[in-house]
Structure 1
């Protein structure tokens, strides 16, 4: 579900405080897009929306979400947007988000322990 090697790599590259800002921005942008897709799905925008979501997900280690988005993006690119089922994307995001935030909280706790030692 989550590519923890990618998460650790990104966090190491940019540092814990910048990582937190990236996570906040990710959650804000992705949740706004998903809300729009739930409320006003627009198949003519699926290619663009799913490409954006795929990139965000892959960058932050949401491996399974990125794969689902890629599959759906390909349908849209092929002119088959009407075949795109967004429900698995919504469900995967919620599950991935929970796992990610729980795991990131563990990383932050490890940082606190290391700093105290």
Structure 2
């Protein structure tokens, strides 16, 4: 679900202090887009938000969630936005955040 090697690399690249800030920015920005999707979205306009979510998720190691967004983005680009299971994508985000939060505490606190 989480690419912990990517998370560790990012933390090493930016340092422990800035890592916390990056997590906060990620959760704020991605959370806003997820909130928009939770409110319902026009299937014809899903390509751009799913592209944003895919890239953001990949940068922070949310591998499974990124794959889900990539599949949705491809479907939207092919004009098949009505086939995208937004509830599954949103659930994937929620599960990823929970796993990430628990894992960060376990791996990097102390």
TM-score, normalising length: structure 1: 0.90
What CA RMSD, in Å, does the superposition of the two structures yield over aligned residues?
Answer: 1.0
**d(CA) in 1 for partners of 2:53, 2:63:** 12
Q: Which residue in 2 is equivalent to 1:46?
A: 46
Q: Which moved more, 1:24-33 or 1:100-109?
A: 100-109
Q: Which runs of 5+ in 1 are unaligned?
A: 113-117
**Contact 2:44–2:79 (CA<8 Å) still a contact in 1?**
no
- Structure 1 position 38, deviation (Å): 1.1
- Structure 1 position 14, deviation (Å): 0.4
**d(CA) in 1 for partners of 2:26, 2:15:** 16
* Deviation string, structure 1 residues 60-102 (Cα, Å, up to 9, x no partner): 0000000000001000000111111111111111111011011
Q: Could you list the runs of 4 or more consecutive aligned residues of structure 1 that deviate by over 6 angstroms after TM superposition?
A: none
Q: How does 1:63-102 map to 2 (within 5 A)?
A: 63-102=63-102
Q: Which residue in 2 is equivalent to 1:115?
A: none
Q: Which residue in 1 is equivalent to 2:106?
A: 106
Q: Which runs of 5+ in 2 are unaligned?
A: none
Aligned length: 110
* Deviation string, structure 1 residues 13-35 (Cα, Å, up to 9, x no partner): 00011111110001001111111
Q: Which residue in 2 is equivalent to 1:35?
A: 35
**d(CA) in 1 for partners of 2:77, 2:90:** 20
Whichever of the two has the greater Rg, that structure is 1
Q: Which residue in 2 is equivalent to 1:21?
A: 21
TM-score, normalising length: structure 2: 0.95
